[in-house]
Structures are given as structure tokens and as C-alpha cells.
Amino acid sequence: VFDYFAGEILAHATPAHRRVLMLTAAAPWITGRLARIASGDPGAPRVLEYLHRRHLFTDRRQGPEITYHYHTLFRDFLRARAAQELPDDERAAGAASVARALEDDGYREEAVPLYLEARDFASAARLVLSEAPHLHAQGRARMLLAWIAAIPPPVVTGHPWLAYWAGATEVWSDPGRARARLQQAFDGFVAAGDRDGQVLAAGAITRVWILS
């Protein structure tokens, strides 16, 4: 039933408006400015406001900048349709442009999934590494691990700190896997001549052995 009503919204939208809806669904929330960035359509903010005023699965929230939030099911529907109807490179370009804007605005955590969706793994890895210390300190291991798991293994191999943070978050939950990741990180630090990394990885490996 939901897909039917959501489909009716797209069926009555112009091709340009359909494209705006599908491209803006990549982000967890969207602003008029970000909608223009994602789609390149100057009229994109009017599409968001129209949906809100017609109560079409879109919530508008006040703040320093007005944000629009699609109903979760509506967003999932739009993302599925985007995968069917839009070329991969167009979806990637839209996600990457929004990710850069969010990062510039200080929304670094929100930017990471968009970089991953855009397959800009270098930018994703850079942000993950910058966010990892405080995420680990806050006990938000699940998010950190999910981000690292979404980065291709060759990229992780080239960034021993990614392997280190993955292992450090799994010391308690999966000591065996943590030990393997930390050993990978240690070897990478040795190859890179990173003594600080070697010390941290060795200490974490010692803790794993004690726990296991």
C-alpha cells in the first residue's frame, strides 16, 4: 500500500522533479541548498516545500537552516527507485557533492555514508580516521565497524590505522578477529615506519592475549 501511494507521487511528478526526489533521498535529511547541490536544479527547494505542504511523507524542521526529512519508508522507496532509474555515476556524483557540502558544514558523521555510497573511499577513509578516536571513546563501536567494513580491503590495507581502529573496537566482542586486525595494523605500521602506531597496536595485541 505504501509503495502504491509513493509510486503515485512519482507518477504525477515531472521528470525533473522525480530526479530531485531520487537524488535527495541519499542523505538522511536535506535542505533546499543541499537539494540544489545534489541535483543541480535551482527549483529543487520548491519540490521539498511542496511535499511538506501537501503532507506527502515529508517533515520540515526549523533550525539554523530549515531541514526536510522524508518518512523512512518513503526515503527507502526513493532510494530503490533511484537505483533502478538513475545511472550509477549520476547517483554517485549527487551523493559525493552532498557529502562534501555536509563535511564543509561540520556534519562529518553524516558525510561518511554518502562518501561510501559515492564510492569515494579515499574521502570516506580520511573522515573515518578523523572521527575514529572520539567514536571509540564514546563506545560507538558498531558505527565505526560498519564504516570500516564498507571500505574495500585493499584500501584498508593501505591505511593501517583503519585496521587498528577496527581491531581496537573488537577487543572485547571478538578477541580472535581483533588480534588478526591488530596484527595487520602492526605490520602496516612497521612498513610505514610509524612508531607511535606500532606501540599502540602492540599494546592492544597484548590486551587481547590477556583477555583470551
Task: Report phi then psi at 13, rounded to 5.
Answer: -90, 150
Q: Which three cell numbers stand for residue 165?
A: 581502529
Give the pLDDT confidence score for residue 105 in this predicted structure.
94
Residue 182's pLDDT is 96
What does the longest C-alpha to C-alpha distance in the chain come to?
63
Q: How confident is the model at residue 157 (pLDDT cuts 50, 70, 90)?
A: confident
Q: From CA 134, how far away is CA 197, in angstroms rounded? A: 17
Secondary structure in 3-state letters for 77-96: HHHHHHHHHCCHHHHHHHHH
pLDDT band at 6 (very low <50, low <70, confident <90, very high): confident
Give me the chain's average pLDDT, please. Answer: 94
Residue with grid cell 590505522, as numbered in its chain: 161
Q: What value does the mean pLDDT take over residues 57-85?
A: 94
Q: What is d(CA 167, CA 161) in angstroms, rounded to the nearest whole number?
A: 10
Distance CA 189, CA 42 (A): 48
Nearest to 81 by CA among 39, 35, 18: 18
Give kind and range of the element (H or E) at residue 69: strand 67-70
Q: Which of 106, 104, 119, 105 is nearest to 26 (CA)?
A: 119
What three-state secondary structure class fits 42? coil
Model pLDDT, residue 212 = 67
Question: ∠ CA 128-167-169 to the nearest 5 degrees?
Answer: 70
Q: Give per-residue pLDDT as tens, 103-145.
A: 999 999 999 999 999 999 999 999 999 999 999 999 898 999 9
Record the pTM.
Answer: 0.90
| Averaged pLDDT, 50-56 | 94
C-alpha span between 12 and 19 (Å, rounded): 13
